[in-house]
């Protein structure tokens, strides 16, 4: 009886090691997450917890530094600018 328990324990340890290897391989195969460099006013509003209208107004007034998309004319806000606002909420008062 103890021999069977020992065999089962060894088998479980072997399976756990194999599972660990499989999980490591799956993690390596996953595509790296793409960082976003520019955000729309809607995405920026969600991230900053502001209304889309208010973010567009701040862009138009130059409070939020944004570029206009050459074809659509919509504001694009850089990740650096959003980080600046997130780290200094008073940045919107400047």
Reported pTM: 0.59
CA-to-CA distance for 80 and 14, rounded, in angstroms?
A: 48
Q: What is the pLDDT of residue 33?
A: 61
Three-state SS for 25-91 is HHHHHCCCCCCCCEECHHHHHHHHCCCHHHHHHHHHCCCCCEEECCCCCCEEEEHHHHHHHHHCHHH
- Choice among 32-36, 46-50, 59-63, 64-68 with the minimum mean pLDDT: 32-36
């Amino acid at each position: 009886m103890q021999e069977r328990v020992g065999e089962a324990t060894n088998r479980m340890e072997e399976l756990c090691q194999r599972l660990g290897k499989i999980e490591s391989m799956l993690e390596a195969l996953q595509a790296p997450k793409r960082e976003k460099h520019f955000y729309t006013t809607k995405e920026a509003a969600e991230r900053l917890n502001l209304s889309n209208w208010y973010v567009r107004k701040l862009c138009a007034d130059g409070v939020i530094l944004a570029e206009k998309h050459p074809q659509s004319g919509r504001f694009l806000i850089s990740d650096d600018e959003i980080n600046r606002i997130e780290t200094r909420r008073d940045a919107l008062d400047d």
